[in-house]
Structure 1
């Protein structure tokens, strides 16, 4: 008997922190005038992104070096419905989950009651306990940590609890296990978006973070488009930190992507091998390595490497495939702080069976709605978002 289900593929690639302009409420977050890609391009003296440009990146907003395309694909700017400007809520919004209230933040560090729970859960003591840059915190507290064994506890403007530890004091697997325990006690009013393990190595004056980072996210607060896909038996393959951001929910298989090179390669391999389902990728370096450090040159290099792989992906797309490129928030290099910036995110959506592009501006959850319709032929009216494709969506055809 022939399987009547559609054998379609969709690929959603999140270019982490690649925002495209401030939102009406950005000033409330200290982000008035934020415009990450525009400012990266200007400060880099222009970007060379021929493949993203051909899709229509220059039609979305002004990007120095990237002219508007004559025949762009579906393109536009998307906005969050809910509050916040972090990776967790950004990815949730793309898949139709809107947090009802801002996730908790700790601008003055974690209170004594929380510290007591952390000590009880881990049996360890902590130092720092304040908002801090992830690279500066190991420079400033790493030697103390080596001498005392106290774990380096810090946060940021985002809803995160981060634990840094040297491999000689706490092994990477042990650090992951400690952070998993911490996740279980950060609940209720203290349910931070992510508990993040941050292992590092090296000697004082030359400490370096490793690729052993692991995020322990709070569960999404409501049903997602990933849940809808799972209910229909559609496989979901995550690449990079997507699995962590959704606490593994409704993800069939997770693939490593701790670096952009790993994430790009994994996405390409999946496009070569899978015959149907969703590939959901996060490319982290524009955020983690370059965005938070306001490293414009590094940001530009990362974008160029992504642009090169976009050409490969387009060659691998068949008529039943859909490629969506977007982001989760911004991290403007001109900001006075080094945290995320609240911004619109880009939308570029291409498929050989949808040759005519158009402008689409809407909520970020339109991505999840479009993916569901593309892969199953149905919608989920109870979830936010609506499909933005008017053609190529009849799964039974």
Structure 2
């Protein structure tokens, strides 16, 4: 079948669902990382019939998910550049490779950044060190309420995060503060993301809200999203995808701050989208469960996703393509609670593609395949090779 105006492609990122260490994982402190395998072991096996039928258990050994009798295109993908976070992971999938690791701040932000933040925002800050996002509001939330100092923290990833209680700053005001911080974090200080982290509640029972917003640095180069929009292919972003690309190459954004919202938006697009591309991130395996090493919650989220995958697969038209993948890992056996540098899974299903072969390659093969599927062309300017015959 040749590409036509009715063709559609859907890429869904199962955030943090890594499938095994990379050759350089030890350099990141992640030797032996294998997120899905270790989650499955921790819960005495996963029950994922729809993902399993597509071939998840054919990619790697996952307790409870046997190899498929007739897998779709399946395999493991690897990054071409450094890093192990959502920003670089999503960029890699769409052909943008960061030339150097984005800056991290294991000792907190230096005085020149703090001075610039104070001058730009008019606020004082507390904490200023790497911290778990849930623990930081427990440990600094009461101080924040008493003093008005905003909670500034980071992680092993290239992020600057600012948390504020809704009684101190409204969600909109916190977003405005983070926009000003984004403008400061440029050049050598260009972290991947500045993240607004609003929370509510009382001391001892603080809770983060769904008002998180990520302010990402622009991709370092042209992406397959840019290629698609240049060819007048509509590009829909679900969840934090719009933020991770700073809106570049995206036609329309759809809510997806929770998995339920992301699944609902993706289902609506698969039902109703006339033609084009939809790029979804399902965040909870990372944000709610992965960083907390909550394997039971992780498994439950995977089960919810599996049910959605079964529905999505049943709704595919003959000229549709559905790709399921990830951006990095967050291994529950790791000694830390940050992301882990890993391979990511590839499952690619289409009624028009019956050759369920194994494909291992760079993550950018996803973007290359989407471009070819929807436009019939490739671009030598970007990395990646299509893995489907059209």
**TM-score, normalized by the shorter chain, greater than 0.5:** yes
Superposition pairs for residues 1-397 of structure 1, below 5 Å? Answer: 5-390=4-389, 393=390
Give the Å deviation of 1:172.
Answer: 0.3
Q: Which runs of 5+ in 1 are unaligned?
A: none
Superposed CA offset, 1:100-127 (max 9, x none):
0000000000000011111111010000
Q: Secondary structure at the match of 2:225?
A: helix
Superposed CA offset, 1:42-68 (max 9, x none):
001100000000000000001100000
Superposed CA offset, 1:234-259 (max 9, x none):
00000000000000011100000000
Q: Secondary structure at the match of 1:290?
A: helix
> How far apart in 1 are the matches of 2:189 and 2:54?
42
Give the Å deviation of 1:316.
Answer: 0.9
Conserved in 1, the CA contact under 8 Å of 2:4 and 2:374? no
Give the Å deviation of 1:6.
Answer: 2.4
Superposed CA offset, 1:205-225 (max 9, x none):
000000000000000010000
> How far apart in 2 are the matches of 1:380 and 1:185?
34
Q: TM-score, normalised by structure 2?
A: 0.99
Give the Å deviation of 1:5.
Answer: 5.0
> How far apart in 2 are the matches of 1:49 and 1:220?
34
> How far apart in 1 are the matches of 2:74 and 2:98?
26
Q: Secondary structure at the match of 1:289?
A: helix
Superposed CA offset, 1:374-394 (max 9, x none):
00000011100000012xx2x
Q: Secondary structure at the match of 2:269?
A: helix
Q: Secondary structure at the match of 1:129?
A: strand
> How far apart in 2 are the matches of 1:115 and 1:58?
48
User: RMSD in angstroms over aligned alpha carbons?
Assistant: 0.7
Q: Secondary structure at the match of 1:31?
A: coil
> How far apart in 2 are the matches of 1:70 and 1:117?
58
Q: TM-score, normalised by structure 1?
A: 0.97
Superposed CA offset, 1:299-326 (max 9, x none):
0000000000101101110111000000
> How far apart in 2 are the matches of 1:60 and 1:121?
49
Runs (4+) of structure 1 moved beyond 2 Å? none
Superposed CA offset, 1:175-209 (max 9, x none):
00110111011100000000000000000000000
Q: Secondary structure at the match of 2:199?
A: strand
Q: Which runs of 5+ in 2 are unaligned?
A: none
> How far apart in 1 are the matches of 2:340 and 2:4?
41
> How far apart in 2 are the matches of 1:305 and 1:157?
29
> How far apart in 1 are the matches of 2:183 and 2:94?
24
> How far apart in 2 are the matches of 1:299 and 1:176?
29
